Amino acid sequence: MADIPAPARFIDLERYPVHRLDDPRTQALLERCRTDLETQAFTVLEDFLTPDAVQLFWDESMALHDRTVRREAVRSAYLDTPDQEDTSFPEDHPRRRFFRTWWGVVADDLIPDDHGLRQLYAWDGLTAFFSEALQVRPLYRHADRFQALNINVLNPGDEQAWHFDDMDFVVLLYLTTPEAGGELECASLVRTDDDPNYATVARAFDGTYEGLRRRKSVAGTLTIMRGHHSVHRVLPVEGTIPRLTAVLAYDRTPDKRENDAINIQIFGERVREKVEKGFNRG
């Protein structure tokens, strides 16, 4: 164990030896991940975290629960708001269908350096594994100190409505298992850069698309997803256990930071004072 970096010990290395990229088992795992991403836009690694890590990350995340910023939005799957509605499309067109979303988020700057999630995210070995799985070389951790590492919080009754991601890929680490609900429902690869495929998107909204798949949120599971071409949502969480998901952000370019106004909008007015003092500058 002496040659294993400390953050890697949060991972079930017997099942996922991500710390050794040249290991034949890791090469086989990477090939599986690449195939999954190319054919269904996501790959799922169940029990990626050890049971001890699941417990630690739960404890750490719940300790930050009171720092959660609650958000509510009405938007289309294309992230437009009602005031941006394009009336050139028919009234029942997917571009003109709007959905309500409720969720909470803990921003990166509120997650201390000594938290296990922070240590795992900061580990270069994990970044290298994702770089190979996504075939994005080089791959960089997001530099934005509000958006790089987030904890998404869906309390009972919360949901995330239908949407396409505006980024190429996202890494999700599930920290809890809701009693019921909270499933990720996805219509994979329903559009391309050249074809919006609105007819299939509309069928996904209506629940009649045969390619719809639902996947439970299970603590310890890692999901890598290409959501830009796949419309997806999170169903309402039921029961008493919140759905906590760590969102690990990466980018193709180094030192990537988001617009200050966007961060203020997402994470609340407390951010304004920090950015005015120069926080989050390169």
pLDDT, one tens digit per residue, over 76-113 is: 999 999 999 999 999 999 999 999 999 999 999 999 99
The CATH class, in words, for 8-270 is: mainly beta
pLDDT for the residue numbered 267: 93
% of residues, the chain, pLDDT over 90: 96
pLDDT for the residue numbered 75: 97
Say if residues 49 and 12 touch (Cβ distance below 8 Å): yes
Q: Where are the domains of the chain?
A: 8-270
pLDDT for the residue numbered 271: 94
pLDDT for the residue numbered 3: 79
Q: Model's pTM, two decimal places?
A: 0.94
pLDDT for the residue numbered 282: 72
Q: How confident is the model at residue 15 (pLDDT cuts 50, 70, 90)?
A: very high
Average pLDDT, the chain: 96
Residue 1 has pLDDT above 60, yes or no: no
Give residue-wise pLDDT tens across range 36-72. Answer: 999 999 999 999 999 999 999 999 999 999 999 999 9
Mean pLDDT of 274-280: 93
Q: How confident is the model at residue 193 (pLDDT cuts 50, 70, 90)?
A: very high
CA distance 41 to 188: 6
Q: How confident is the model at residue 236 (pLDDT cuts 50, 70, 90)?
A: very high
pLDDT for the residue numbered 281: 85
Residue 243 has pLDDT above 60, yes or no: yes
pLDDT for the residue numbered 187: 97
Tell me the HSE value of 251 on the side-chain side, using a 13 A CA sphere. 14
Give residue-wise pLDDT tens across range 146-178. Answer: 999 999 999 999 999 999 998 889 999 999 999
